Amino acid sequence: MSPPDLRAAQVATMADPARLRLLALIITDPSGQPAAVDLAGPGGALEAVDAHLRAMTDVGILVRIGHGRQARYRPTPDALARFGGAAIGVPHRAGAAHVPSGDHDRLLRRIAADLSATYADVLAPETVTRFVTDSYDLLAARATVRRYLPALTARFAADRLAALTLERQGVVPHRDVLFVCVRNAGRSQIAAAVLRSVAGDRVRVRTAGSVPAGQIDPVVRAELAQRGLDALTEFPRPLTDEVVRASGVVVTMGCGDACPVFPGRRYVDWTVDDPSGRPRQDVARIVDDITARVHDLVRQIDP
């Protein structure tokens, strides 16, 4: 299909309220890549959801990871660029969906209730609520755009709770990697994007920053996109204890001292230039440098 025809096919495929709502759910899903069963909800119409997901995958709106019942779905860069605003309600126009700040409390209670249900067997609801509130405060302290805070909080809190649960169970997966830099907007995001593309589902990748920025560096984002390594759904996160505890390998870049040290983790420090404020050609060189280091790391942890 030629690009104009593919675009028209994508538009035709998304001209369906159910698919737009599914895309909104996928973009804001705490895991970033839900399965059909997560989207259908309890007692939901799984077959109908499956059919929508297949149609969206066929025209390059979603990428399928895995097969059969286990298959998970992620939005493509096309989906985010062309339909992301419509789906998650960037308030471009009067009447478009957006979340007024006053509603954040209500949304946080819902996020806490949903996560409490998910972790009902392992964590007390009070713990979950505390993590949700704390995650929101950590992100809000640096947010330049408040509109996305509830969606980001849902994902940040879900990641932290998953890490906390692993740690409580005494499981430290040796191949889980945490990349930490100062702003979590450049170096750690590059490393995570490269590792995800190289190792796929075999390695769980997390990122954090000691002083996180408001958003991923746009030049870094452009350079990654050009190499087909998209970090479009990622965002800078503050460094918290439980993600360090839950990672077997901790790679620091320019912030070694800020990273808490726990026994049994492998700490690696990389001396890599900060791409912040650098021209595109420097950023490309930094991405090359980090890519080579990630390949070395993969050879060590995932032989």
Query: Is position 36 an interface residue for another protein (rule: CB under 8 A)?
Result: no
Residue selected from 30, 75, 236, 254 as contacting another protein according to rule CB under 8 A = 30
Rounded CA-CA distance 42/123 in Å is 21
Query: Is position 29 an interface residue for another protein (rule: CB under 8 A)?
Result: yes
Residues 114-173 contacting another protein, CB under 8 A: 114-115, 150-151, 154
Q: Which stretch binds another protein (CB under 8 A): 7-15, 234-242, 257-265, 267-275?
A: 7-15
Sheet holding 205-209, edge to edge: 205-209, 177-181, 249-253, 266-269
Give least dist CB 296 to another protein, A.
36
Query: Is position 96 an interface residue for another protein (rule: CB under 8 A)?
Result: yes
Residue selected from 34, 75, 238, 248 as contacting another protein according to rule CB under 8 A = 34
Rg (C-alpha) for the chain, rounded Å, is 19
Contact 297, 195 (CB under 8 A): yes
- The residues near 211 (Cβ < 8 Å, ≥ 6 apart) are 182, 183
Give least dist CB 161 to another protein, A.
12
Q: Which stretch binds another protein (CB under 8 A): 92-100, 214-222, 239-247, 272-280?
A: 92-100
SS3 43: coil
Residues 228-257 contacting another protein, CB under 8 A: none
Give the total of residues touching another protein (CB under 8 A). 50
What is the C-alpha end-to-end distance of the chain, expressed in Å? 39
Reported residue count of the chain is: 303
Residue selected from 63, 86, 211, 284 as contacting another protein according to rule CB under 8 A = 86
Residue selected from 56, 62, 83, 203 as contacting another protein according to rule CB under 8 A = 83
Rounded CA-CA distance 23/86 in Å is 10
In this complex, which beta carbon is closest to another protein, that of residue 80 or of residue 181? 80
Query: Is position 303 an interface residue for another protein (rule: CB under 8 A)?
Result: no
Query: Is position 111 an interface residue for another protein (rule: CB under 8 A)?
Result: yes
In this complex, which beta carbon is closest to another protein, that of residue 25 or of residue 63? 25
Residue selected from 14, 62, 181, 192 as contacting another protein according to rule CB under 8 A = 14
Rounded CA-CA distance 172/237 in Å is 21
Angle at 134 between CA 131 and CA 137, to 5 degrees: 150
Burial class (CB in 10 A: 0-12, 13-18, 19+), 65: middle
Rounded CA-CA distance 124/137 in Å is 20
Binding residues for another protein, rule: CB under 8 A, are 4-5, 7-8, 11-12, 14-18, 20-21, 24-25, 28-30, 34, 38-39, 41-42, 44, 81-90, 92-97, 99, 103, 107, 110-111, 114-115, 150-151, 154
